[in-house]
Structure 1
Amino acid sequence: MSLIVKHPGLFSTIQDQGRSEGMPQGIPVSGAMDLNLYRYANQVLNNTEDCACIEFYQQGLKLEFEAPTFICVAALHAKITLNGDQADVNSVLQVNSGDVLTIKELTKGSWGYVAVKEGFLSQSLLGSRSFFKALTRHQIQKNDRIDFSVFEGTAGGDDLAFDTDYYAKTILVVYKGPEFYKLSETLQYQLKTAKFSLSTSQNRMAYQLQERLENELDEIVTGPVLPGTIQYTPGGKMIVLMRDAQVTGGYPRILQLSERGINLLSQMRTKTKFTFRLTEIGS
């Protein structure tokens, strides 16, 4: 059976843990912007951790279910309704045929997830159901039908407390990138001590920082990059590559965000202040 997308909201896609099989062909990893929250949504339903979810941005998603199942809407904090009545996030919700889920607003964070019991059954390519425009649909659209397995009885999920402390930190752990050592001591010190913030330029491919640092480095011969790589442009801008990032780039790679750092940054909104904590790999 399926659900019907009554309103697609903003930047809504199907995402799982991403695809590594396509990187040799230049295909990005993709996957959930916040893998921690995505995995939590599946854990609540006792799903395997790679089950596909609907990822949405901030507000406006509206879904009508054609068959009974159990769902979880995972978010830092949100206003949602089921058939017009207020419903709880980060918990098991039972839905029946004809029920309508509406994501009215994320009041904290930027990305949320709708998980369904046993996962959504969209097409899998190169080992992943994650949307990416070169392979699949770019975004969910109005009147799309998304398949899932009919599930009746009990959810069989876990009573998991949502760890709000995970998102309370504004310190992002980073490692030295390949070109970090080419920076002057002054710039290295600034990266370790200064406060930074997000600009309005944010999407699944990259987040751009508001602040600029004077750059005297030359561009590099194209080299490999990953989600979390922080590139340093000739104009002094810092660009943090996110889940849909390309697999190679020509800007100096000065820092690399930890996995938790990517999750935390993905949920920050414009002008949120944060600092980097430089850590040696393995420490």
Structure 2
Amino acid sequence: MSVNVKQSGLYASIQDKGRVGGMPQGIPISGAMDLNLYRFANHVLGNERNSACIEFYQQGLKLKFDSPTFICVAVIGGKIFLNDEQVEPNSILKINSGDKILIKQLIEGNWGYIAIKDGFESGAFLGSQSFYKALTQDQLKKNDKIIYVPYDGESGVDFPRLNLEYYKTSVLDVFRGPEYHKLSQTLKYQLNNAEFSLSTSRNRMAYEIQERLENELEEIVTGPVLPGTIQYTPEGKMIALMRDAQVTGGYPRILQLSEKAINLLSQKRAKSKFKFNLTEINSEKI
């Protein structure tokens, strides 16, 4: 049985934890932009940890289910409608044949997740269903159908309350990148003390930081990068690589976001303010 996409909204796609086996071939890790919210959605339903969800951006996604099941719509804050009636997000929703879900608006954050009992089924590549162009199913389009196994029993799951305090901080934990030691003391001080903001240039590949810092570093020989790597360009721009980031880059890698910091940054909107907190890999803050 399947869920039918009535409205695709923005950037909706199938995502799980991502893939690591393709990095030697230049294939990005991909995966859910906010792994904390993705994991919560699956946990509510008692799903396997790597079950595929639908990831959506801000608003407009509308789905119609042709068989009974249970779902969880996980968001930081938003208006969600089931058959024209507003429902509570981050809870278990019983779905009957013909039911429709509409993501009217995300009030907070950028990304949300629709998990379904036992996960959605789509083509996998290197052990992951996460969307990446030319590898798996494309971004969702109107009239697409996504397969799932109907479930008409009891949910049988005691679900926790989403910890919204997780998203309240404006401090992002970072580690030193491979080229951090090349920075001047002035630049290190600015990184550790200044307040920064996000530009409007944001997508699944990278989020650009609005402020510029004077840069005298040379480009490096191409080296490996990961989601969360912060690159520093000759123009003084800082670019935080996100889930669909390339696997190599030629700009100095000055910082590396923690896993939690990637989740937090992914949900921050343009002009949002934040600060970096430089920490050690073996510190208790990880």
TM-score when normalising by structure 2: 0.98
- What is the CA–CA distance in structure 1 between the aligned matches of 2:18 and 2:244, rounded to whole Å? 10
> Which residue of structure 2 lines up, in the alignment, with residue 27 of structure 1?
27
- The equivalent of 1:69 in structure 2 is 69
- Report the Cα offset of residue 207 of structure 1: 0.2
Is this contact kept in 2: 1:70–1:117, CA < 8 A?
yes
Deviations, residues 69-93 of structure 1 (Å, cap 9, x unaligned) = 0000000001010000111100000
Residues 54-73 of structure 1 show CA distances to partners (whole Å, capped at 9, x for unaligned) of: 00000000000010000000
Instruction: Among all aligned residue pairs of Structure 1 and Structure 2, give the percentage whose two residues are the same amino acid.
Output: 65
Residue of structure 1 in register with 2:79 after alignment: 79
CA distance, structure 2, for counterparts of residue 156 and residue 8 of structure 1: 31
How far apart are residue 153 of structure 1 and its match?
1.2
3-state SS in 2 of match to 1:29: coil
Q: What are the residue-to-residue correspondences of 1:144-155 with 2, within 5 Å? A: 144-155=144-155
Q: Distance in 2 between the 1:154 and 1:196 partners?
A: 47
Question: Any unmatched runs of 5+ in structure 1?
Answer: none
- Paired with 1:220 and 1:159, the residues of 2 have a C-alpha distance of 48
In structure 2, the residue matched to 1:134 is: 134
CA RMSD of aligned residues (A): 0.6
- What is aligned with 2:110? 110
What's 1:229 paired with? 229
Give the letter aligned to residue 110 of structure 1.
N
> Runs in 1 of length 4+ with deviation above 6 angstroms?
none
The alpha carbon displacement at 1:156 in A equals: 2.2
Judge conservation of contact 2:123–2:137 (CA < 8 Å) in 1.
no
User: 1:160 — aligned with what?
Assistant: 160
**CA shift for structure 1 position 164:** 0.8
Give aligned pairs, total: 283
The residue that corresponds to 1:245 in the other structure is 245
Whether the 8 Å contact between 2:30 and 2:132 is mirrored in structure 1 is: yes
Alignment partner of 1:216 is 2:183 = no
Structure 2 unaligned spans of 5+: none
1:58 corresponds in structure 2 to 58
Report how far residue 159 of structure 1 moved: 2.2
Q: Distance in 1 between matches of 2:269 and 2:111?
A: 10
1:259 is matched with which residue?
259
* 2-structure distance, mates of 1:210, 1:273: 10
Letter in 1 for 2:3: L
> AA paired with 1:255?
L
Normalization by structure 1: what TM-score?
0.99
**Aligned partners of 1:226 and 1:241 also within 8 Å:** yes
Code of the residue aligned with 2:126 in structure 1: it is L
Given that 1:43 and 1:158 are in contact with CA atoms closer than 8 Å, whether structure 2 keeps it comes out as no
CA distance in 1, matches of 2:80, 2:127: 32
Q: Does the aligned pair in 1 maintain the 2:71–2:95 contact within 8 Å?
A: yes
Deviation at 1:49, TM superposition (A): 1.1
Instruction: Provide the rounded CA distance (Å) in 1 between the counterparts of 2:24 and 2:66.
Output: 39
